[in-house]
Structure 1
Amino acid sequence: MNSQQEQRNWKKKLFTIIFEADTRAGKNFDLALLVFILISLALVMLQSIPSVNDRYGPSLNKVEWIITILFSIEYLLRIIAVRRPVKYITSFYGMVDLLAILPTYISLIFPASHFLLVIRVLRLMRIFRILKLSQFVREGNAIVQAMKASARRIGIFLAFVLLLSVVLGALVYVVEGRVNDKFSSIPQSIYWAIVTITTVGYGDISPITPAGKIVASLIMLLGYAILAVPTGIVTVEMSKTFKKEDKHSQACPNCAAYGHDPDARFCKYCGSEL
């Protein structure tokens, strides 16, 4: 019983240090973690500069491996500290923590994947929780909720745009295909329609006939109207989902989830007592 109690106390202390930012030890741990993340990002950027990599590449690589090993140990400690590791592993932060260390190991097989370490920048989102910038956390949660609520309608809208691009691409191919070698096929014309309807306008392909220019002008005007649709969908959902309640930085000891209400006694994700 004593050994079990000691183990529970040890895991509770470990959880407080790693997941909580309310204690001094927890805040210092998170701040040190952010420093290592920034150093790691700087190393990746320096290694992408040929002159720097040619001169200091081996040394930068050694430092990067040291940081990756530290992050790997930290990831394992996070799994050990929570009561339900699977909940943490499959959570957003859990996936980000895993993806932050995988590129270094994958680079042993595929060297180019090393530069995917820039995904570690996502771990900097913890700074909002550490520095008690709860208003940013609340607004970020509102955006995420709005995107989730409007995902189905945006998906239908994108499908409609894709079908419209196919029709417009085929139309401009009929108009331009015989006199303009840029529109050499329907897929090439669909590519142009997508670039035009999204108002990107690379300029690598453009119509030369009067009829083609008329079609292009209509597609450009249509593009402005189309861009307003997803914006309106998300804005409506944001007005519904935005909540004024403040959130605290306490993490659930069972699934390591954040974003609970100040007076919450149980986790709203897994139901465990906070």
Structure 2
Amino acid sequence: MNHTHKPAGKGLRTRLFQIIFESDTPLAKGFDIALIVAILGSVLVIMLDSVPAYHAEYGSLFYWIEWGFTIAFTIELFVRLYCLEKPWLYLRSFYGIVDVVAILPTWLTLVIPGGQSLVVIRLLRTLRIFRVLRLMQFVGESRLLLDALQRSLHQIFLFFFGIFILVTIFASVMYLIEPAEAGFTSIPMAIYWAIVSLTTVGYGDIVPVTPLGQAITVMLMLTGYSIIAVPTGVFSAQVIRAIREERYSDEACPGCGHDRHEKNAKYCLICGTWLDETHPDPKLAETDKEGQE
């Protein structure tokens, strides 16, 4: 059951709510899959229509297909509002705004001249897929990744702050030793060059011409290779930590003190002591029963 939104009443509205906002029934899962296919199909049409050759040959077909998707998504939005107890609460939510913005540009083309320029906003429909995935079996995985990202924010922020200082130092030095004709016309332009070099992208629009500048560029690129994996390592470590916390319990064994047991473990892996202090050991109960007999 969705904890944020509630059905408007019993009967048809409750049934529609279970199909649209939940995913624990075959019909609801089928609706989620059909919605994902429709979203991806509409995005594919938008992308193909942006190709001049396809637009010239199939523009009319793309136009009517897009209107079909827009009408379908509009009906879906009204059905969502119909089955909710507080539809305005949904419209003010993030996904409610995405739903409205995703269909609005196509309708605006009917009343606003030149409204076709807004159709690119329809690509926001891809954000609706995250809502479907959130309601399906990816809930635990997404929560684990978000928790790991939140834990590593301080380390990643510190890393990028250090990189910014390093880039600024290299850029200032290059601004002093390189001529303006090479592209180093200001410190901000030199910072742009330093970021491009540090990330080993190398666009080639700004290139040092002095031997000292080229030597500094080599040092900067080697530095980029050596530190590019740091934020990935930090995030990976937090993911591993979150997985361990998800799987293992921190409660110590009353017998030997070992504190790395799986959460569903009944007996200690080291000494075999019963771990659930709220319930008696069934083996001990059987032993007492046999002794009484």
Normalised by the size of structure 2, how large is the TM-score?
0.67
Contact 2:133–2:139 (8 Å) recurs in 1 = yes
Deviation string 1:30-84 (CA, Å, 9 cap, x unpaired) is 2322232232122112201212212332332232123123213323433443445
The corresponding residue for 1:121 is 126
Letter in 2 for 1:120: R
Contact 2:182–2:208 (8 Å) recurs in 1 = no
Distance 1:86 1:229 in 2: 45
- In the alignment, structure 1 residue 36 sits paired with structure 2 residue 34: no
Change (3 A) 1:38 1:232: closer
The corresponding residue for 1:77 is 79
Change (3 A) 1:89 1:145: farther
Higher relative contact order structure (alpha carbons within 8 Å, sequence separation ≥ 6): 1
Structure 2 matches for 1:14-33, cutoff 5 A?
14-33=16-35
Change (3 A) 1:158 1:6: closer
The corresponding residue for 2:189 is 188
Letter in 2 for 1:183: F
Contact 2:182–2:206 (8 Å) recurs in 1 = no
Kindly, what percent of the aligned residue pairs are identical?
38
Which one of 42, 58, 61 corresponds to residue 59 of structure 1?
Answer: 61
Pairwise CA distance, 1:173: 1.0
Change (3 A) 1:213 1:6: closer
Distance 1:142 1:190 in 2: 36
Letter in 1 for 2:207: S
The corresponding residue for 2:205 is 204
Contact 2:182–2:207 (8 Å) recurs in 1 = no
Contact 2:8–2:84 (8 Å) recurs in 1 = no
Normalised by the size of structure 1, how large is the TM-score?
0.71
Contact 1:182–1:205 (8 Å) recurs in 2 = yes
Distance 2:217 2:90 in 1: 50
Change (3 A) 1:226 1:93: farther
Unaligned stretches of 5+ in structure 1? Answer: 246-274
Structure 2 matches for 1:1-274, cutoff 5 A?
7-83=9-85, 88=90, 93-94=95-96, 96-105=98-107, 110-125=115-130, 134=137, 137-177=139-179, 180-242=181-243, 244=246
Letter in 1 for 2:144: A
Letter in 2 for 1:214: A
Contact 2:67–2:106 (8 Å) recurs in 1 = yes
The corresponding residue for 1:251 is none
Change (3 A) 1:154 1:53: same
The corresponding residue for 2:263 is none
Change (3 A) 1:46 1:228: closer
Which moved further from structure 2: 29-38 or 79-88?
Answer: 79-88
Contact 2:171–2:190 (8 Å) recurs in 1 = yes
**What is the aligned length?**
237
Unaligned stretches of 5+ in structure 2? Answer: 1-6, 248-293
Pairwise CA distance, 1:129: 6.9
Contact 1:101–1:117 (8 Å) recurs in 2 = yes
Contact 2:8–2:82 (8 Å) recurs in 1 = no
The corresponding residue for 1:261 is none
